Structure 1
Amino acid sequence: MDAHTYIPAEFIADVQSYIPQHLTIADYIESCQRPLRPALRVNTLKTTVAEFQAYADEHSWTLTPIPWCPDGFWFERPLAQQTLSIGNTDIHLSGGIYIQEASSMLPVFALQHQTNLTDCCVLDMAAAPGSKTSQLAAAMDNSGFLIANELSSSRLKSLSANMQRLGVANTALSHFDGAIFGSYMEQCFDHILLDAPCSGEGTVRKDPNALKNWSIESNQHIAEVQKQLIESAFYALKTGGTLVYSTCTLTPLENQQVCQHLLEMFADHIDVLPLDTLFEGAEQVVTDEGYLHVWPQVHDTEGFFIAKFKKLGHTPHPNPQAKKGAFPFSDFSSKESQAFMKTLTDQFGISHLAGNLAIRDKELWLFPEQSTDLKEKIKFSRLGILIGQTHRTGVRLCHEFATALGHLATKNHYELSTLEACDYFQGKDIKLPHPTSQQGEVLLTLCGNVIGLGKWQKNKIKNSLPRDLVRDNQLITWE
């Protein structure tokens, strides 16, 4: 129990006004002062649940399945391992898992419930740091087109780094106030996730100071922003598409009342999709409207709210907008593409890349196929995967080619030992036990997952890890 969790009396009085009758305020306060159970999600773009379970058994981890996420687990590690940060383990550094609170997995699971997200156009309107974006990419199996938007420029960088580590290849990053999507990208998306910025009332179990600046006035101000965002999302949604709205807060001001605003604004064009059967136990947290109002004491999680809607018809946006300025890329020529693909086939056995190759200056990018109709709607911070840099003799491959597309290779891998992995992440070259005659680039793997590129040299593999990913001050230790 964390007795230092700050819970102001005014907040408790507000919660008492809307807590369900079958729950008690005493149980709620007690749950807020209990540490969270650590949880993770298996990144199925890199590994399988079965492979991760075998890894967990080998390392004596205890796993408990999360009912609403087939890829999610609560986990416990032996005491001797707990001094090692989970972020410094090989399975995490290789992109095999993502540390994510259990209730945070619900919004994406709700979006994909009874829906096939593959080959769809999807918007994650408030994406950083990337937990739900990467969960969406996995649900889409890296197909279709996923736009991950983040207003904060500092959080956009961490979002990009996470997408690279996790092998996400179907995504574009944008840096806007989400309120612009309705006017610039009207009826563009099959599905939209709006995990809205909120007061964070549900996060006190991991942040004892989450309620330090709490006030009703702040809730009301945030709710006005949320209403603008949810309106924008509905305009950007295609007719027949679905929208999930979620927050990590509990107040109806930011939850039920925001949803009611949407229902009133688009009364003839919207249906609520009830979530009472989303998972076993969902009926314990469902509201009369069919939303999920997840109280922390019910499933031993953070507090969360999730609602799902279907768009039945479209009302035109009152002020549609169009991007100014030319798209700064051109198609990679057929001749150059053929030469590049021959190199990939010879070096790695990769005979096909799904998407469209494009060039800007000397940068070669791979765009998702379904980005063609949307790439000029807004200005993207990043679109697709940076494959490499062109030069007079071909293409020099980049790090994210390896992390996003390396799994396609059928040859030329080198599995790192734990000591070699320590050297790799510290930016050091990999010393070979025996001289080699192999030449060119090689894909480096850890836990069977491609983590980057190296270059064969006689007695070593030259490290190609980008400098900004080198972990100078975080030495990795292993059990």
Structure 2
Amino acid sequence: MDNHLPEAFRMKMRLLLGEEEYQAYLASFGQERYYGLRSNPLKLAAEELLELAPYRLAPVPWCPTGYYYEESARPGKHPYYHAGMYYIQEPSAMIPAELLDVQPGDRVLDLCAAPGGKTTQLAGKLQGQGWLVANDNSLDRVKALTKNVELAGIRNAMVTHETPDRLAARWPEAFNKILVDAPCSGEGMFRKDEDMIRQWEKHSVAVCMGMQAEILRDAAAMLAPGGRLVYSTCTFSPEENESMIAEFLRQHTGFRVVPAPAAHGFVPGRPDWAAQTRGADTPDEAEEQTAGAVRLWPHRIKGEGHFAVVLEKDATPVASEPEPVRLESKPAKGRKGSAPARTTAPDLTPWEQFVKDNLTQPLPGTPVMFGERLYLAAAGSPPVAELKIYRPGWYAGELKRGRFEPSHALAMGLSRGDARRVLALPQDSSRVIRYLKGETLEVAEAELECSGGVSSKGYVLVCVDRFPLGWGKWNQGMLKNEYPAGWRWV
């Protein structure tokens, strides 16, 4: 496939790398690709996935929850994928979230989040504590992002689709951890996806640089004193990497680069490339700091091309906290059931009755209504001020005409022990696939696990082994399938 590389790209890479390493890079196009997935800590420990997976896994050295798998394994065609037990992700793409060093209780923003791989990785590190905002300014991409948030069973995430400048105006210094996986020219993905080569020829590096600079500026405004920001791209271009960071540091003197460990075959950033881009013989002070970044090259590691740098904001506290503007929130336009958040307290009796009848314990979060839809917002979530909110929290279900209908997202965020009625099917059961296809199942009453003295009739949490797949409604030996049509096994 290296024959398809644009000549301008070839000339640039030969100049940057030198002939010997350039040839090693070209040779990587004739080598096998590496495929990866991450276990979901919200569902199970990484070691448990090793025991349960019916295919061979090998650890990704820079990600404790990451594994390589063989292409023939096809983990996306296994019921465990539909249980949200893992996320399929290119191995190099796992490094930015690792460098962000998220801890339980952090306030985290994934600013360019779709389709959600890094969002799910960050949520796993939070372990349900603190809160996470996942944002993307494309409505179509936000839909994929939301599905992955729900599949992973994330309870403490808000999904927005806004421009970074609007978020920055309303959430100044609101986050102590921010990930900017910036839109870029995608040179690091040429080996993986030939379409990225065609896109590179259409979209100039200069256009990407303009977007990146604006996103970084707005991210800096949303980072709290002492907070950490990770900027990453999947391109080799020094203009979008070292030069971008050097210019950011010149304009934001309260930031510094925290050197990332150059382990696992990673190589340090290249201040000299930034200086060359500027037309200088030697790097200046800002460019020198970019040596603390890391570059991932496909001829040096088992993965594709990537760049990442850790930025830390000075810990000097601000004189006073800005008073947030608290206006009526606006859900995403075009979303089924969209409506402004209620200004009067809704009658939550049907929801409370559902919890009493079907769950073993109350659930965390503050109830928020968008039309008929009920969400559970994480404690301490940032205020919404006329922002485009796609999900203000964990989507619980709908209040309709005095009754409550649970959502699929609610089922995916539960554990087996949270439900009063459970049907646990082994992963090799044909009924698992039939359930995922939306079929009604014959289920003997004795197969149900009921707790708290409830009758067998009612909502059942259907699981593969001990991991939730979705809802069913049992009555007289038949399980009516509640698995959503858009999620079904094809």
How does the TM-score come out when normalised to structure 1?
A: 0.86
Offset of 1:199 from its aligned partner? Answer: 0.6
Q: Contact between 1:275 and 1:308, CA under 8 Å: does it hold in 2?
A: yes
Q: Is 1:272 aligned with 2:232?
A: no
Percent identity reads 28
Offset of 1:377 from its aligned partner? Answer: 6.4
Counterparts of 1:161 and 1:383, CA distance in 2: 14
Counterparts of 1:117 and 1:408, CA distance in 2: 26
Give the counterpart of 2:45 among 48, 62, 66. 48
Q: Is 1:105 aligned with 2:94?
A: yes
Counterparts of 2:69 and 2:376, CA distance in 1: 37
Q: Is 1:441 aligned with 2:459?
A: yes
Q: Contact between 1:11 and 1:214, CA under 8 Å: does it hold in 2?
A: no
Q: Contact between 1:203 and 1:210, CA under 8 Å: does it hold in 2?
A: yes
Q: Is 1:13 aligned with 2:11?
A: yes
Aligned counterparts, 1:313-392, within 5 A = 313=316, 325=328, 328-330=340-342, 336=348, 340-341=351-352, 343-349=354-360, 351-371=361-381, 373-376=382-385, 378-391=387-400
Mean CA deviation greater in 187-196 or 171-180 = 171-180
Counterparts of 1:276 and 1:286, CA distance in 2: 11
What is the match of residue 68 of structure 2? 74
Offset of 1:280 from its aligned partner? Answer: 4.6
Counterparts of 2:462 and 2:475, CA distance in 1: 14
What SS is found at the alignment partner of 2:229?
A: strand
What is the match of residue 288 of structure 2? none
Mean CA deviation greater in 91-100 or 244-253 = 91-100
Offset of 1:345 from its aligned partner? Answer: 4.3
Offset of 1:225 from its aligned partner? Answer: 1.1
What is the match of residue 307 of structure 2? 305
Offset of 1:151 from its aligned partner? Answer: 1.8
Q: Contact between 1:426 and 1:470, CA under 8 Å: does it hold in 2?
A: yes
Offset of 1:163 from its aligned partner? Answer: 1.3
Give the counterpart of 1:65 among 50, 59, 81. 59
Q: Contact between 1:164 and 1:403, CA under 8 Å: does it hold in 2?
A: yes
Mean CA deviation greater in 3-12 or 122-131 = 3-12
Unaligned runs of 5+ in 1: 475-479
**Aligned CA-pair RMSD:** 2.8
Offset of 1:347 from its aligned partner? Answer: 2.5
What is the match of residue 418 of structure 2? 409
Q: Give the residue type in structure 2 aligned to 1:388.
A: G
Counterparts of 2:33 and 2:261, CA distance in 1: 24
Deviations 1:339-363 (A, max 9, x none): 74464244331x2322101233332
Counterparts of 2:118 and 2:374, CA distance in 1: 28
Aligned counterparts, 1:390-469, within 5 A = 390-391=399-400, 394-407=403-416, 409=418, 411-417=420-426, 418-433=429-444, 438-469=456-487
Q: Contact between 2:326 and 2:384, CA under 8 Å: does it hold in 1?
A: no
Q: Contact between 2:242 and 2:269, CA under 8 Å: does it hold in 1?
A: no
Give the counterpart of 2:228 among 234, 239, 242. 242
Counterparts of 1:239 and 1:188, CA distance in 2: 10
How does the TM-score come out when normalised to structure 2?
A: 0.84
Aligned counterparts, 1:140-289, within 5 A = 140-214=126-200, 218-267=204-253, 269-276=254-261, 279-282=263-266, 284-287=267-270, 289=291
Q: Contact between 2:416 and 2:466, CA under 8 Å: does it hold in 1?
A: no
Q: Give the residue type in structure 1 aligned to 2:458.
A: G
Deviations 1:418-444 (A, max 9, x none): 311211121111111467861110101
What SS is found at the alignment partner of 2:414?
A: helix
Q: Contact between 1:198 and 1:247, CA under 8 Å: does it hold in 2?
A: yes
Deviations 1:1-45 (A, max 9, x none): xx46621221111112322x6961001011134331111111111
Q: Give the residue type in structure 2 aligned to 1:352.
A: P
Counterparts of 2:269 and 2:243, CA distance in 1: 16
Q: Give the residue type in structure 1 aligned to 2:479.
A: I
Counterparts of 1:388 and 1:107, CA distance in 2: 33
Offset of 1:381 from its aligned partner? Answer: 1.6
What SS is found at the alignment partner of 1:370?
A: coil
What is the match of residue 477 of structure 1? none
Unaligned runs of 5+ in 2: 272-290, 331-339, 449-454
Q: Contact between 2:268 and 2:292, CA under 8 Å: does it hold in 1?
A: no
Identify if the C-alpha distance between structure 1 residues 215 and 331 changes in structure 2 by more than 3 Å, giving closer, same or farther: same
Offset of 1:180 from its aligned partner? Answer: 3.0
Offset of 1:150 from its aligned partner? Answer: 1.1
Q: Contact between 1:148 and 1:171, CA under 8 Å: does it hold in 2?
A: yes
Counterparts of 1:122 and 1:408, CA distance in 2: 28
Q: Contact between 2:326 and 2:383, CA under 8 Å: does it hold in 1?
A: no
Counterparts of 1:23 and 1:138, CA distance in 2: 41
Identify if the C-alpha distance between structure 1 residues 403 and 179 changes in structure 2 by more than 3 Å, giving closer, same or farther: same
Identify if the C-alpha distance between structure 1 residues 217 and 390 changes in structure 2 by more than 3 Å, giving closer, same or farther: closer
Offset of 1:171 from its aligned partner? Answer: 1.1
Offset of 1:285 from its aligned partner? Answer: 4.1
Offset of 1:118 from its aligned partner? Answer: 1.6
Q: Give the residue type in structure 2 aligned to 1:348.
A: L
Q: Give the residue type in structure 1 aligned to 2:292.
A: G
Total equivalences in the alignment: 449
Counterparts of 2:162 and 2:172, CA distance in 1: 15
Q: Contact between 2:425 and 2:463, CA under 8 Å: does it hold in 1?
A: yes
Q: Give the residue type in structure 1 aligned to 2:413.
A: A
Counterparts of 1:265 and 1:204, CA distance in 2: 32
Counterparts of 1:380 and 1:335, CA distance in 2: 22
Deviations 1:418-475 (A, max 9, x none): 311211121111111467861110101114211111111111111111222233xx2x
Offset of 1:273 from its aligned partner? Answer: 0.6
Counterparts of 1:238 and 1:382, CA distance in 2: 24
